[in-house]
């Protein structure tokens, strides 16, 4: 577990791809359970005496910045920031280098209506506003492209289920490893956990007590070093 920031009110980790953010009590492995266990060990407390709030979540195969609250007051204030879209979220993705991508140097605005497929852990993009759908908006731009792959930056303005994954696939460039939405390649982390090339790179939020801006960045997983990428993409991703 990689801790990126901690004080008396917040704790931020670099989530492991393949782990759920939260899981039922009978499921032993989740990022929440590891963070809770670490706090219990650090403070010498039992489980019932450690508060851990989860104001947002990342999909199981996604890595990156994951914010926890260490008090109910902090949790409520952080959840309000996410609800009111005051938190700036930046994701990095590796996608096929196709003509459908935004032109170099330009920011694209993606506006769609998304809906969950009933009884399944996936969503779909609907044509226009449809009963049961929710509006989704993201800003996207290319950082680097080389050969078959491109390094895409996405800033979601809404927080819909699988939003970035759906919006990329809908436009013809599914995220590398995301076989749920059309990638021809399946990926796994070094431990065999499911993995896709989508990473929560940066989170900017207001501290829940001091109200000062906090910027947290997470390095991409070391497993990305094994992805089929070229020499130009490596420094862009922070890889050696």
- Enzyme catalytic residues: 59
Calculate Rg over the CA atoms of the chain: 18
Tokens of 174: 């599914």
198: tokens are 């989508």
Say how far apart CA 39 and CA 26 lie, in whole Å.
Answer: 20
Burial of residue 92 (number of CB atoms within 10 Å: 0-12, 13-18, 19+):
buried
- Nearest alpha-carbon partner for 18 in 146, 225, 172, 191: 191
Residues 227 and 237 sit within 8 Å (Cβ to Cβ): no
Reduce the DSSP state of residue 221 to 3 states and report it. coil
């Amino acid at each position: 577990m990689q801790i990126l920031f901690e004080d008396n009110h917040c704790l931020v980790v670099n989530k492991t791809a393949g782990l759920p953010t939260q899981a039922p009590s009978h499921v032993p492995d989740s990022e929440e359970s590891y963070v809770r266990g670490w706090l219990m060990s650090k403070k010498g407390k039992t489980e019932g005496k450690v508060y851990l709030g989860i104001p947002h979540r990342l999909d199981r195969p996604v890595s990156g910045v994951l914010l926890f609250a260490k008090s109910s007051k902090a949790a409520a204030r952080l959840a309000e920031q996410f609800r009111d879209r005051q938190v700036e979220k930046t994701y990095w993705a590796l996608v096929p280098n196709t003509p459908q991508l935004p032109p170099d140097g330009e920011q694209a605005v993606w506006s769609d209506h998304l809906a969950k497929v009933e009884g399944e852990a996936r969503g779909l993009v609907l044509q226009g506003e449809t009963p049961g759908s929710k509006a989704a908006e993201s800003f996207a731009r290319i950082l680097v492209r080389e050969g078959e792959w491109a390094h895409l930056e996405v800033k979601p303005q809404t927080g819909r289920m699988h939003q970035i994954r759906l919006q990329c696939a809908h436009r013809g460039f599914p995220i590398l490893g995301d076989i749920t939405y059309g990638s021809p390649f399946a990926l796994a982390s070094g431990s065999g956990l499911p993995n896709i090339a989508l990473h929560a790179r940066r989170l900017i939020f207001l501290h829940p007590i001091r109200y000062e801006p906090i910027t947290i960045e997470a390095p991409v997983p070391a497993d990305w070093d094994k992805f089929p990428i070229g020499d130009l993409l490596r420094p862009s991703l922070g890889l050696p």
